[in-house]
Amino acid sequence: MKNSTTSGAGSLYVVATPIGNLGDITQRAIEVLSNADLIAAEDTRHSSRLCQHFSIDTPLRAYHDYTDQKQTEAMLDLLNSGKDIALISDAGTPLISDPGYRLVKIARDAGIRVVPVPGACAMAAALSVAGLPSDKFCFEGFLPAKAGQRLNALEALLDEERTMIFYEAPHRIIDSLAAMSEVFGADRELVLARELTKTFETLISGAAAEVLAAVEADHNQRKGEMVILVKGCEASAKQLDANVEHMMRCLLAQLPVKQAAQIGAEITGLRKKELYQWALDNKDD
C-alpha cells in the first residue's frame, strides 16, 4: 500500500488536454502547465502549438512509449529534487491508450505525489453521446493490426454484455468494422464516433453492416480520430438441462444467487456467468 510521499519531492501532474477543440482545456490545466518546471510531452512539436496558443512557456521534453529507461530515471531525479513535472499526451487524458504508465508507476513506487488533472477524453466523450448502455462498459483500446489476431481478440469478447469501446486508426477502420460485423453479427448495434469536438465531428450509428457500408461509401468517413462503440450481447436466456435446473432451484432455495451459481458451476462444469444469469431470471419462480 502506497500512501506516503517523499518529503521535499516535487509532484507529477497527469494533465488532460483537448482532443480537438482548444476551448475544452480547463483553467486548472493551464495553471498546472504554466507553473510546472517541465512538461513531459508525447510529441513536443505538437504540444508546442498548444503551449503557444495559451502563452505557456514551460520547457518541453519528449516522453513516449519508446523513451528509454535512462530518460525515465532522469525525470524521476528531477521529481526527487523538488521539481514539478506535467505529463501530457498529444490529445486527451494520458495513459488512456497513450504513453505514461512507466513514469507514473516509477514515480508512485518512489513515493512521488501523482496528481490527476482531469479533462477531455475521447472514450468518455463518445460514450456520453452514443446512446448505448453506459451503466457498464469496458475499454479495449486498439485492436491488433493483424487480421487473425484481430478476429481472435473480438471472438474473446463474444459473451461480453457491457458496451465495448475501441480506438481505431483510419487506415484500419474498414477492416475492423468488417471483423466486428463478422464476429458479433451484421445486426449488432454499434456507433462510430469520428473527429469528436472538431469541425467534421460525425457519429454514425446502426447495425454493424450498415455502419460498415456507410464508411465504405464515403471516403471522408475514413479520416481522423475514431472511436467505435459496440453494444454488448444480450444476457443469455439459454434453457438448462432438467437435472441442472432442478439442482439450481434446490441451491437457490438455500443460498444467495452468487453462491448458488458458483457451486452450480463447480458441480456441472458450466460457466458461472451462465448459471448466474439463469438464477437471476428464475429466482422468484
Q: 201: which DSSP letter? A: -
CATH of the domain at 214: 3.30.950.10
Cα angle 133, 24, 126; round to 5: 20
44 burial via Cβ count (<10 Å: 0-12, 13-18, 19+): middle
Residues 177 and 127 in one domain: yes
Residue 198's domain spans which residues?
123-230
Beta strands 163-168 and 226-230 are antiparallel
CATH of the domain at 74: 3.40.1010.10
Residues 111 and 35 in one domain: yes
Looking at residue 238, what is its pLDDT? 56
- Final residue belonging to a domain, choices 90, 120, 150: 120
Taking the C-alpha atoms of 263, 268, 273 and 275 in order, what is their torsion angle to the nearest 10 degrees? -80
Residue 118 has pLDDT above 50, yes or no: yes
Looking at residue 125, what is its pLDDT? 98
| Residue 237 domain-assigned (yes or no) | no
Q: Which residues pair with 117 in a beta bridge?
A: 15
Predicted TM-score (pTM) of the model is: 0.80
Residue 270 has pLDDT above 90, yes or no: no
Residues 63 and 134 in one domain: no
| Residue 6 domain-assigned (yes or no) | no
Residue 4: helix, strand or coil by DSSP?
coil
Looking at residue 241, what is its pLDDT? 83
- The C-alpha atoms of residue 20 and residue 25 are separated, in whole angstroms, by 10
Looking at residue 70, what is its pLDDT? 85
- The C-alpha atoms of residue 126 and residue 203 are separated, in whole angstroms, by 9
Looking at residue 46, what is its pLDDT? 92
Residues 166 and 222 in one domain: yes
Residues 88 and 24 in one domain: yes
Neighbours of 146 (CB within 10 A): 9
Residue 200: helix, strand or coil by DSSP?
coil
| Residue 20 domain-assigned (yes or no) | yes
Looking at residue 236, what is its pLDDT? 56
pLDDT greater at residue 14 or residue 102: 14
- The C-alpha atoms of residue 224 and residue 220 are separated, in whole angstroms, by 9
Tell me the backbone φ, ψ of residue 36, rounded to 5 degrees. -65, 160
Residues 33 and 66 in one domain: yes
Tell me which of 140-144, 225-229, 263-267 is least confident: 263-267
Q: Which helix or strand (DSSP H or E) is residue 247 part of?
A: helix 242-254
- What digits encode the pLDDT tens for the residues 70-89? 888 999 999 999 999 999 99
Residues 207 and 181 in one domain: yes
| Residue 2 domain-assigned (yes or no) | no
Sequence-distant (≥ 6) Cβ neighbours of residue 242 within 8 angstroms: none
| Residue 203 domain-assigned (yes or no) | yes
Residues 178 and 258 in one domain: no
- Final residue belonging to a domain, choices 98, 120, 142: 120
Q: What end-to-end distance do the CA atoms of the chain give, in Å? A: 45
DSSP string, 248-269: HHHHHHHS-HHHHHHHHHHHH-
Tell me the average pLDDT of the chain.
92
Residue 243 has pLDDT above 50, yes or no: yes
Q: Which helix or strand (DSSP H or E) is residue 176 part of?
A: helix 173-184
Residues 151 and 212 in one domain: yes
- What digits encode the pLDDT tens for the residues 57-66? 999 999 887 7
Distance of CA 150 to the CA centre of its chain: 17
Could you give the number of structural domains in the chain? 3
Looking at residue 268, what is its pLDDT? 87
The one-letter code for the residue type at 185 is G
Residue 55 has pLDDT above 50, yes or no: yes
Cell representation of residue 271:
460457466
- The C-alpha atoms of residue 253 and residue 284 are separated, in whole angstroms, by 10
Looking at residue 233, what is its pLDDT? 86
What's the number of CA atoms in the CB half-sphere (13 Å) around residue 1?
1
Residues 207 and 248 in one domain: no
| Residue 226 domain-assigned (yes or no) | yes
Cα distances from 253 to residues 246, 257, 285, in angstroms, run: 11, 10, 11
